[in-house]
Amino acid sequence: MSTAVLQLFGKSNMNMSIRQQVAQNLADTCIFGGLNEVYGVNVEKTTDSKSKKTFWSVTFCQSRVTDGVIRVYSPSFIMVKWQTGDRSLAAKGQEVFHSEEAAKTFLVKNFVKA
């Protein structure tokens, strides 16, 4: 695909790292699932203050219900942390996933409301 065609669709993955691509794909899942209320979905590269390791961070929320963050340390180590008032989940929690697809499945199953 040419760069012009990729630009036509809004974003080019040609200059993204693999971790950034995973983070952007998870952010897209959050946006399409309505997890972008109040302050939207933000994607940024962050450095852990203690370990000095970098990761890609994706924030998501549902008004008055859920706040969460996804940390992409590698394509095979993705952490989802949340706080929620939804009684079907623990009020605070975190899960680690070993693939982008497993993280997407968890987000859709637990936070996207039909």
Q: Give per-residue pLDDT as tens, 62-97.
A: 888 889 999 999 999 999 999 988 787 888 999 999
For residue 3, the model assigns a pLDDT of 37
The verdict on residue 4 lying in a domain is no
Domains: count for the chain: 1
Residue 43 located in a structural domain: yes
Does 86 reside within a domain? yes
d(CA 58, CA 50) in angstroms, rounded, equals 19
Residue 2 has pLDDT above 50, yes or no: no
pLDDT at 7 (0 to 100): 37
d(CA 70, CA 24): 11
Give the range of the structural domain holding residue 63, as residue numbers without chain letter.
17-111
Residues in the chain: 114
Q: Rounded distance, CA 5 to CA 16, Å?
A: 17
Q: Rounded to whole angstroms, how far apart are CA atoms 12 and 5?
A: 9
Max distance between CA atoms of the chain, in angstroms, equals: 47
Does an H or E element contain 26, and which? helix 18-32
> Would residue 69 count as lying in a domain?
yes
pLDDT at position 64 is: 83
93 to 16, 96, 110: CA distances (angstroms) = 29, 11, 12
Q: Quick one: how far is CA 73 from the chain centroid? A: 12
Q: Supply the pTM of this predicted model.
A: 0.82
Q: Does 3 fall in a domain?
A: no
Task: State the average pLDDT over residues 21-30.
Answer: 95
